[in-house]
Amino acid sequence: MRFGTLLKSISAAAAVSAAAAAPAIAESAGPIDAQTWSFKGPLGYYDEMQLQHGLYVYQTRCQACHSLGLVRFASLEGLDVSEEALKALASTYEIPYINDDGDRDTRPGVLNDNFPWALDNPKRAIATYGKAPPDLSTMARSRIGGSDYIYALLTGYDEAHEQPEGAYYNKVMNVIKMPNPWPADMSDFEYPDGTRPSLDQQARDVTAFLNWTADPYLEERHQWGIIVVLYMLALTIISFLAYRVVAAKVYAKLEVEGGPDPEH
């Protein structure tokens, strides 16, 4: 078996197994178009300004219902926000706790806290909405299409379409419990830095932010990948050459004296 054939077989097998996994879970009703993201591709990276904008959209449009229960305020330094600003951000949240008198109380958040949930707990969420709005920490990893799925869902509302009873129409899911997060008039909306984003831009920014919450070490992994794969390619070449040298010597010796006794 030639080496080239072997390599082809490996990549073919990987493709087959990947393809086998893919259709199994594609259940969504509508089309999910692939979008351009800065974090896609082997050199993909996060645009910190976009993530900060996305955080702001999350705060204005998502966090009234959804939680980010796996995301610590301290980890937002990955958005290129200063520690002082993060402390200030954390302190704007009320964290439930039991005080020294044993009573339920709230205190301002600190860096080590996770984003609190406005609905506080699943039972209240179900009592309020009939169904708990899912935690968004890993959302970009837990749906086929990932960020493309989130973007398609956020931009998939169509008020002109017939609305199902007690729910909303969305081209991704047809029937969705989640109301359209975008108000009809957003002419006054602006980011803290003064820029005025379109709805489409807001959807992209919050999607990028949710991709970051699901995969905060993506850049590290990509950089690691480039170094490791370059190293492995070099090792592959060197080990191949070493193998050829050793093989030539072993063959030469084999002609003269042979190998170990097969009867041994």
Partner 1 sequence: MAGSRSPFKNPLLKGFDERLPVLRAVHHSMTAHAYPKNLNYWWNFGSIAGIMLMVMILTGLFMAMHYKPSVEEDTYGINQAFRSVEHIMRDVKGGMFLRYLHSVGASFFFIAVIFHMFRGMYYGSYKAPREVLWILGCIILILMMGISFLGYSLVWGVMSFAAAEVITQVFTAIPVLGDGILVLLRGGEDVDDALLNRFFALHFLLPFVLAGVVILHILTLQTVGSNNPLGIDLKSKKDTVSFHPYYTFKDIFGLSVFFTIYLAVVAWAPERLAEAINNQPTDYNLPSHIVPEWYLLPFYAILKVFTWDLNLFGLVITGKQLGALAMAGSLGILFLLPWLDTSPVRSGRFRPVFKIFFWGFAVCCVILALVGAQTSGEAFFIPTPFGRLPLGFDGGNGFVWGSTQQWGVLFTGYYFAYFIVILPVLGLFERPKQLPASISEPVLA
Q: Smaller CB distance to partner 1: residue 175 or 232? A: 232
Query: Residue 68 is encoded by which pair of tokens?
Result: 């980010």
Which residues within the stretch 107-166 sit at the binding site for partner 1 (CB under 8 A)? 114, 117, 120-122, 125, 132, 134-135, 137-139, 141-144, 146
Compute the distance between CA of residue 101 and CA of residue 95 in angstroms, rounded to an integer. Answer: 17
Where helices occur in 40-160 by DSSP H, the ranges are 48-57, 83-91, 122-129, 147-154
Q: State in angstroms the smallest separation of the CB of 185 from partner 1.
A: 33
Compute the distance between CA of residue 129 and CA of residue 124 in angstroms, rounded to an integer. Answer: 8
Compute the distance between CA of residue 141 and CA of residue 138 in angstroms, rounded to an integer. Answer: 5
Q: Looking at 13, 64, 85, 127, which residue binds partner 1 (CB under 8 A)?
A: 13
Which residues within the stretch 202-261 sit at the binding site for partner 1 (CB under 8 A)? 214, 216-217, 220-222, 224-226, 228-229, 232-233, 235-236, 239-240, 242-243, 246-247, 250, 254, 257-261
Q: Binding to partner 1 by residue 192, rule CB under 8 A? A: no
Q: State in angstroms the smallest separation of the CB of 96 from partner 1.
A: 8
Query: Residue 81 is encoded by which pair of tokens?
Result: 């926000």
Half-sphere exposure at residue 208, Cβ-oriented, CA atoms within 13 angstroms: 28
Give 174's strand partners.
170
Q: State in angstroms the smallest separation of the CB of 79 from partner 1.
A: 15
Which residues within the stretch 48-107 sit at the binding site for partner 1 (CB under 8 A)? 67, 69-70, 72, 75, 96
> x-or-dash pattern for partner 1, window 18-37, by CB under 8 A?
xxxxxxxx-x----------
Sequence length of the chain is 264
